[in-house]
Chains A and B, each alone.
Chain A
Amino acid sequence: MLRNTPAFILNPLQALGRYSQLLFHAFGAIPEFGTYRKNLWEQMVRIGVESLPIVMMAAAFSGAVTTVQTSYQLVFPLIPKGIIGAIVVPSMILELGAVVTGFILAGRVGARIAAELGTMRVTEQIDALEAMGLNSIGYLIVPRVVAGIVMFPVLYVAACFVGIGGGMLVGDLGGFVPIGEFVDGAREFFQPFDPLFGVIKSLVFGFTITSISCFKGYYTKGGAEGVGRATTQAAVASCVFLLLADLVLAVILL
């Protein structure tokens, strides 16, 4: 029956099966986590600390642009300027902080993970780990995924602060809205659930990006071309599933 199934149905199902299998083995390796702890710190630095400058820069510009555009679209003499803060702050917390960080990490971290693991696969380094008696999934994948889940919310929070700060600053310096009015507007419409929603979203994004990239890299086939293909697929698939997760979470939680 499988032989008659079209490839466009069979291939994604096969990929889903292998991805689930990989996650199953990764969860199975958690009890041995002590062995891989050193690797976790290294990955947290690579995924989190090293991504911080680019995430902050992108967030600052996003906040600034959102302020300018909101001002262009909404500010009329009858509408209080504080509305800008009321729109920019939730936009950053609910959507932009997590999504901008997600896209940057999909490109920067996702591609890097896939390239690293892909190269290790094609140069038999993963086989060498296995041949030594090491659990390669536990050693290579668990620390990367855990580091993604831990560091993504940290980056998200930083992105929100910098984005809101950037918006506030540009609003004030550009004469769109004074800082006081921006803050008053933001306070008036602030929902305590919004930051929690953002953090939940960033946890899911961290898991999605790192697990998909690990999957693509770990199962790389072929030489340099295979590594290139895996890297591109990791970045693209991470972005696509990030958007999908964004929609699903918004529908479920908001």
Chain B
Amino acid sequence: MISVQQINKSFGQKHVLKDVSLDIPEGETLAIIGRSGSGKSVLMKHIIGLMQPDSGRVFVDGVNINDISYAELRRVRQHFGVLFQGGALFDSMNSFENVAFPLRTFTSMNESEVRNVVQECLSMVELEDVGLKMPSELSGGMQKRVALARAVALRPRYILYDEPTSGLDPETSNTIDELIKNLANQLNVTSIVVTHDMHSVLNIADRAAFIYEGRMHWTGTMDELHKSKDEILTAFVTANEYKIGV
């Protein structure tokens, strides 16, 4: 379980996160939603300890990750898989090597075992044939899928997705959404999806957390989201619905 407790974070004069608290139970798919610049990605980076809060704490499986050594933090991070907004594939390696990288670095698997796991991960994202291609030879959607294969290679307990569908066409976005749903079911992982794409949220999430002007404005299930009368939340959701023509 992940527990974010009263996180505050400022960059210079800009107070980005204000007393943000959030609990994410095991096995849940949570969507963190909000407008661009509302602090969603900053919150995600706090969850994995890539940023330190000015005040407040983040607990992962009961461990306060803001109060442990760097070596311990790195061990905690090995339970996470992260899909970054642009994929963040290592551009000096081909797709196969990207997926194999965490396996070669953190496990004692031999090359044939590595090859099997990489193939399995690539087939999970339906890209069995791109192993030899460099990231620059792949489309944006394919890059994200290879990055997703890399994120799940070590069988993490938590997967964080930073804007997984941004910049993709609707069809590819749907494919990514399906993959997120399938991976959550197949691997029984806790998923945290940072997005402003409501179509995606309605498709994949069990629960949503809405950040507005740096504060945790609203949290609830998809049912509660549909029924909510909160004006700010409704305005955000409707703007998205209008955009996708629902």
* Segment touching A, from B60-68, B80-88, B213-221: B80-88
Chain B binding surface, main DSSP class: mixed
Query: Quick one: which of B70, B88, B160 contacts A123, CB cutoff 8 A?
Result: B88
Closest to A25 in B: B70
> Are A133 and B84 in contact, CB atoms less than 8 angstroms apart?
no
* Segment touching B, from A100-108, A124-132, A181-189: A124-132
* Residues in B whose Cβ lies below 8 Å from that of A125: 88-91
- Complex Cα–Cα for A122 and B45 (A): 15
* Segment touching A, from B71-79, B111-119, B124-132, B185-193: B71-79
- Complex Cα–Cα for A125 and B76 (A): 19
Q: How far is the CB of A117 from chain B (nearest CB, A)?
A: 12
> Are B88 and A130 in contact, CB atoms less than 8 angstroms apart?
no
Q: How far is the CB of B98 from chain A (nearest CB, A)?
A: 10
* Residues in B whose Cβ lies below 8 Å from that of A135: 70, 74
Contacts A35-B105, A133-B106; A128 near B82 (Cβ below 8 A): yes
Interface status of B50 (Cβ within 8 A of chain A): yes
- Complex Cα–Cα for A125 and B50 (A): 13
Interface residues of A in 219-243 (CB under 8 A from B): none
* Residues in B whose Cβ lies below 8 Å from that of A119: 91
Q: How far is the CB of B246 from chain A (nearest CB, A)?
A: 32
Interface status of B140 (Cβ within 8 A of chain A): no
- Complex Cα–Cα for A127 and B80 (A): 13
- Complex Cα–Cα for A232 and B105 (A): 33
Interface status of B102 (Cβ within 8 A of chain A): yes
- Complex Cα–Cα for A196 and B77 (A): 46
Q: How far is the CB of A49 from chain B (nearest CB, A)?
A: 17
* Residues in B whose Cβ lies below 8 Å from that of A133: 74-78, 106
Interface status of B122 (Cβ within 8 A of chain A): no
- Complex Cα–Cα for A135 and B72 (A): 12
> Are A132 and B86 in contact, CB atoms less than 8 angstroms apart?
no
Interface status of A173 (Cβ within 8 A of chain B): no
Interface status of B48 (Cβ within 8 A of chain A): yes
- Convert A117-156 into 0s and 1s, putting 1 for each residue whose CB lies closer than 8 angstroms to a CB of B: 0011001110110111111000000000000000000000
Closest to A32 in B: B71
Q: How far is the CB of B88 from chain A (nearest CB, A)?
A: 4
Query: Quick one: which of A35, A120, A123, A130 contacts B77, CB cutoff 8 A?
Result: A130
> Are B82 and A131 in contact, CB atoms less than 8 angstroms apart?
yes
* Residues in B whose Cβ lies below 8 Å from that of A131: 48, 50, 77, 80, 82, 84, 160
- Complex Cα–Cα for A131 and B45 (A): 9
In the complex, number of A-B residue pairs with CB atoms less than 8 Å apart: 50
Q: How far is the CB of B204 from chain A (nearest CB, A)?
A: 21
Q: For chain B, give the interface size range.
A: 20 to 34
> Are B84 and A128 in contact, CB atoms less than 8 angstroms apart?
yes
Contacts A133-B78, A134-B74, A135-B74; A128 near B88 (Cβ below 8 A): yes
Count of A interface residues, CB-CB < 8 Å = 14
- Complex Cα–Cα for A130 and B105 (A): 13
- Complex Cα–Cα for A36 and B90 (A): 16
* Residues in A whose Cβ lies below 8 Å from that of B160: 131
> Are B48 and A132 in contact, CB atoms less than 8 angstroms apart?
no
Interface residues of B in 28-51 (CB under 8 A from A): 45, 48, 50
> Are A132 and B102 in contact, CB atoms less than 8 angstroms apart?
yes
Interface residues of A in 69-124 (CB under 8 A from B): 119-120, 123-124
* Residues in B whose Cβ lies below 8 Å from that of A134: 74, 105
- Complex Cα–Cα for A119 and B84 (A): 15
- Convert B129-164 into 0s and 1s, putting 1 for each residue whose CB lies closer than 8 angstroms to a CB of A: 000000000000000000000000010000010000
> Are B85 and A124 in contact, CB atoms less than 8 angstroms apart?
yes
Closest to B51 in A: A127
The 25 listed contacts between A and B (C-beta, < 8 Å) are: A119-B91, A120-B90, A123-B86, A123-B88, A123-B91, A124-B84, A125-B91, A127-B84, A127-B88, A128-B82, A131-B48, A131-B50, A131-B77, A131-B84, A131-B160, A132-B82, A132-B101, A132-B105, A132-B106, A132-B154, A133-B75, A133-B77, A133-B106, A134-B74, A135-B70
Interface residues of B (CB under 8 A from A): 45, 48, 50, 70, 74-78, 80, 82, 84-86, 88-91, 101-102, 105-106, 154, 160
Q: Please name 15 further chain A to chain B contacts, defined as beta carbons within 8 Å, in addition to the given A128-B84, A134-B105, A135-B74, sorted by A numbering.
A: A119-B91, A120-B90, A123-B91, A124-B84, A124-B86, A124-B88, A125-B90, A125-B91, A130-B50, A131-B160, A132-B101, A132-B106, A133-B75, A133-B76, A134-B74
